[in-house]
Each structure stands twice: as structure tokens, then as C-alpha cells.
Amino acid sequence: MKEVWVEKYRPSKLDDVVGQDEIVSRLKAYVKTENLPHLLFAGPAGTGKTTCAIALARELFKDNWKANFLELNASDERGIDTVRTKIKDYARIMPIGGDFKIIFLDEADNLTTDAQSALRRTMENYTRTARFVLSCNYSSRIIEPIQSRCAVFRFRPLKPDAVKQYLSRVAKAEGIKVTDDGMEALLYVAQGDLRKAVNSLQVAASVGKTVDSDTMYKAASTARPEAVKKLIEVALEGDFIKARDELDELLIEYGLAGEDIIRQIHRTVFDLAIPDVFKVRLVDRIGETEFRLVEGSNERIQLEYLLSNFVLIGQELRKK
């Protein structure tokens, strides 16, 4: 692999961004007026926040976009010194060939509270020469004074049709054939995260020019949904030992971590043909197990604890 496909096929203009039509139309209005306020991009990973920021700068500044665009990752440089030195020094410099420059702070929700307070003053004092675009996964972690100074754009997970459209374009450009079941597997793995989808496709394509579901699930280290569903159903039927064997197969064949299996079990529960009241109880046990894993408990013991709870809930289910 000579190039990372995520970067190789990153849209260079707003019209090429898929799955965020409403946001793109609002950003294009800013380009048309050649002006914009401070912006806050909030939403899950892989939904186009960084891509939109770069495409916006490209369309506003044309050939001078690199000279008028500073990208910082706040998870790496999150302290107050970064705001007081690097960001402030860049903001006070006059733009080249434009009325303002853009400072893009990726993962801004990782900035400390003190750093955000300092950033608030910088945003006020240097509005004439700089506009800030803040990107975050959780807007609730951004202090209110900053939120009130920004136009907020909320990015949603991409719909399957948008992901499929983009992946088909990448596959065609790379000469890769993706089977129908392989595309379904990609959509399942991605969960609306286009970056994850493209990276998974690149890994699967390194095995061969044809990508099917088997290749896809193994490349993405994701268990088949039907295998996870079988695990749950066997436990609900009351066969704990067989359910434990199914768990072993998932852990060994796919090399999954405990939290990965918990997340897939959680997704699969809602597809079970059981009354909603029992789904509530299953989700309650899943949440308890996930919390214990996050706190550092032994994953094998906790997963078997979860299966034992499924067995007990299954006993009550069969009495209904």
C-alpha cells in the first residue's frame, strides 16, 4: 500500500462531500458571500468534519489556501500554552490574498477548560484577521461561551446509500470488485463512519482484487452478525456450555477484544424476535458488563457472567 486511501480520495471541494447535503449547502452560502463566522463542527468520527473544513478553505482561498489555513489537533496540543502562543501568534498575522485566515482545531473537546477560556478571548480579539473552525465529537464538552460565539453544524452518521456511493467510486478507481455481500459487510462494519469503511476496504483489497463478506469481516476484525446472533440465541435457549464454545470461537477466530464483542451483542439484541421487555433486561445486563470491562475487570469472566445472565433471562422467557 503506497497511499492511504482515506487521504488519496478525500474530496477537495464541497460538492464532492457525500451524505451531508444540508451542511454543504450552508457552507457553500458562506463561500458565495466570501465571509463566515466562527464555526463548530460536532458529530461522530468519520462523518466529514475535517474534510468540510479543508474543502471550505480551498474554495474560499483558492491557491492561497495553505497559507491561510492552520490545522491543529487539540488532543496533542491541549494546554493553555498552545492557545497563548501558537494559536495567538498565527491569529495576529494578516492573511495572504484574503480578508481573514482559518484556524482549524480538530478534536477541540480535548482542550482543557483553561485552554478553552483562553481561546474564547483569542476568538474575540482576532476576529478581524482569523476565523476559528472547531471540530469535536461531543459538543457538550465545549464551554458555553465558545458555543455561543460559533455557528453550530451537527454532522450525522452517513446513511448506507451515501457510504455505498463513495465506496463504489473508490473501488472502481482502484480496480477492486466488491461483491453484494461484501458491500453489505462493509456497511455493517462502518456504521456510518466513512473513514472506517474506506480503511477496511483498503485492508481487504490487499488480500485480493475481489472483496467478499468473508474477507471483509476478517480484515475488519469484526464477527459476522449471524455468529453473534447465534451466540445470544444459544444462551437464551439455556445451553450455557454451548454458548461458551460459541464465545471461544469468536475470540479465537476473529481475535476480538471483550469490548468489541459487547458492542456487537448490543447491536444484535434489537434484531431478536423476543418481547421488548426482555430486550430491556438484556440491554441492562450488557450495560453492566460493559461498565465492568471499562473499569478493568477480567474480560473472560465478565463475558461468561453476561452469558449466564442471558441463560437465566432465557429461562423466564420460555415460561411466558
215 and 233 inside one domain: no
Rounded to two decimals, the pTM is 0.83
At a CB cut-off of 8 Å and minimum separation 6, what does 220 contact?
Answer: 185, 189, 200, 203, 204
At a CB cut-off of 8 Å and minimum separation 6, what does 21 contact?
Answer: none
Give the whole-angstrom CA distance, residue 311 versus residue 320. Answer: 15
- Read off the pLDDT band of 304 (50, 70, 90): very high
Average pLDDT of the segment spanning 185-210: 89
11 and 98 inside one domain: yes
pLDDT, position 84: 73
Average pLDDT of the segment spanning 186-193: 90
10 and 132 inside one domain: yes
To which H or E segment does residue 69 belong?
Answer: strand 69-73
- Read off the pLDDT band of 3 (50, 70, 90): confident
Residue 254 has pLDDT above 80, yes or no: no
pLDDT, position 25: 94
Average pLDDT of the segment spanning 124-147: 91
- Read off the pLDDT band of 1 (50, 70, 90): very low
Three-state secondary structure call for residue 265: helix
Question: Buried (b) or exposed (e) across 245-277, using 16+ Cβ within 10 A?
Answer: ebbeebbeebebebebbbbbbbebbeeeebeee
54 and 101 inside one domain: yes
- Read off the pLDDT band of 206 (50, 70, 90): confident
Domain boundary among 154, 184, 207: 154
Domain range enclosing 102: 5-154
To which H or E segment does residue 71 belong?
Answer: strand 69-73
144 and 186 inside one domain: no
195 and 238 inside one domain: no
pLDDT, position 132: 93
Q: Which three cell numbers stand for residue 299?
A: 474480560
Domain boundary among 128, 154, 180: 154
Residue 209 has pLDDT above 90, yes or no: no
Residue 93 has pLDDT above 80, yes or no: yes
| pLDDT tens digit sequence for 48-92 | 999 999 999 999 998 889 889 988 886 666 667 667 777 888 888
For the chain, give the mean pLDDT: 89
C-alpha separations of 208 from 1, 50, 163, 166, 215 in Å: 13, 31, 21, 20, 9
31 and 148 inside one domain: yes
Burial of 148 (0-12, 13-18, 19+ CB in 10 A): exposed
Indicate which CATH number applies to the domain containing 45.
Answer: 3.40.50.300
204 and 102 inside one domain: no
Number of domains in the chain: 3
Residue 34 has phi, psi (to 5 degrees) of: 60, 35
Domain boundary among 219, 252, 268: 219
Residue 152 has pLDDT above 60, yes or no: yes
pLDDT, position 59: 92
Give the residue from 243, 220, 218 showing the smallest Cα distance to 303. 243
Give the whole-angstrom CA distance, residue 88 versus residue 126. Answer: 8
255 and 203 inside one domain: no
Strands 38-42, 150-154: pairing is: parallel
27 and 121 inside one domain: yes
- Read off the pLDDT band of 319 (50, 70, 90): confident
Average pLDDT of the segment spanning 263-283: 92
Amino acid identity of residue 13, one-letter, is K
261 and 305 inside one domain: yes
Q: Which residue has the higher pLDDT, 77 or 208?
A: 208
184 and 243 inside one domain: no
